[in-house]
Amino acid sequence: MDNPFYYGRAVDGAAFVNRSEEIGRISSSLERGQSIVLFSPRRYGKTSLIKKTMSRLQRKKVLCFYVDLYTVTSLDEFYKNYAEALAAAFKSPASALVSLLHWLLPMLKPKLVYSQPGIPEVQIEASLTTLRNTKTLKELFESIERYCAKHKRKAAVIFDEFQEIATLEKGGIIERQMRSSFQHHRHVAYAFLGSKMHLMNEMFGTTSRPFYNFGSRFELGAMSDVVWRKDIAAKFKAGGFKIDEQAIKKILHITKGHPYYTQLLCSEIWDTCNTKRAVSEQDIDPVVQGALDLENHAFQELWDSLSRNQRKVVRVLAQETDIALFSSDIARKYYLGAQSSLHRTVEQLLRKGVVAKKDHSYVLTDPFVARWICSRMP
């Protein structure tokens, strides 16, 4: 049996660990036309979850459009990704698809090219002046509703890493035109996914922003130990491994139920213990160090991107838990400087998605970053 633990990409089938409650709630909302906002730190499995939700909706004849904004850096890329989401969902023959896109998006002058067999790529021939025109944006945002109204269909449009809209040229105009169009749609529901929770909260929780209170909010957290214990034990058993209950508990204590790191650590344990086909609590620590080494480059890049004051705060949060970060005692102990400067630093880390607010304290969003810092900077 091959290693059944996958990380670093969207998964489905047996590799997808049970999120049945979340899938049920989200698919039910979108099917009845209720838009949603789904946010969590990166690597929590939002994309896998929404792809699973899309499959369920498609079985119920709901059209699904997936627009990934993570790599979008310009206005023309935004149009291109949106148009390609339309092309991917309609699955029509090339000639019919071109006619359909021209009907839906005449101002964009879309053209299909096939750089890979069977995978259409949309080229936009409209000028930059046309792209900056709010009428063009309105045409884009009305396109799916127009199609569904004509054909009496339901649809769900998913925006992954939606907070990246704010970084685009004309980002504010895009937000306002989206809201202006979307709030009147009766055949289409929208899902806004984001990993920078502070920015998502600003977009959907600030009264002056266009998407204030638009859609039901879902926060995707770590999965429960009960779900993980069952999944981990079953997969190791299916592969002919013996694994101690204490070993599973230790894995989950280390990863804190974080989907990416739980899969990563289990994958490394599988490969390391493959010969003896047995996993004990004593096997875990050496594998953890190996997993940290695998992520070293990413962690080093993150550390290098932080200012001196940001590093101080991140290091404190890596070493301490449940602390009053803004107390004078902590400020003196770790030389965190004046309160005004500390508040600015924490705000910057929140916006970067490195830190999140939890109850009345602050935590690092990535549990392995904390472990990496402690292992290298005792």
pLDDT tens profile 215-272:
999 988 888 899 899 999 999 999 999 999 999 999 999 999 999 999 999 999 999 9
Rounded to whole angstroms, the Cα distance separating 318 from 311 reads 10
Instruction: Return the pLDDT at 378.
Output: 58
CATH architecture of residue range(s) 225-294: Orthogonal Bundle (1.10)
Instruction: Return the pLDDT at 118.
Output: 67
In the chain, where are the structural domains located? 19-219, 225-294, 297-376
pTM score over 0.75: yes
Rounded to 10°, the helix 225-238/259-272 angle is: 30
Rounded to whole angstroms, the Cα distance separating 30 from 100 reads 25
Instruction: Return the pLDDT at 261.
Output: 92
Helices (H), the chain: 20-31, 46-59, 75-90, 94-104, 128-131, 134-151, 171-182, 197-205, 225-238, 245-255, 259-272, 284-294, 296-305, 308-319, 328-334, 339-352, 367-376
Q: Is 297-376 assigned to CATH 1.10.10.10?
A: yes
Give 46's DSSP letter: H
Rounded to whole angstroms, the Cα distance separating 311 from 316 reads 9
Mean pLDDT calculated for residue range 118-127: 82
Q: Is residue 80 pLDDT above 80, yes or no?
A: yes
> What is the CATH number assigned to the segment(s) 19-219?
3.40.50.300
297-376 and 225-294 share a CATH fold: no
Closest by CA position to 25, among listed 66, 60, 53: 53
Q: What angle do CA 293, 296, 302 make, to 5 degrees?
A: 160
Phi, psi of 280 (to 5 degrees): -115, 170
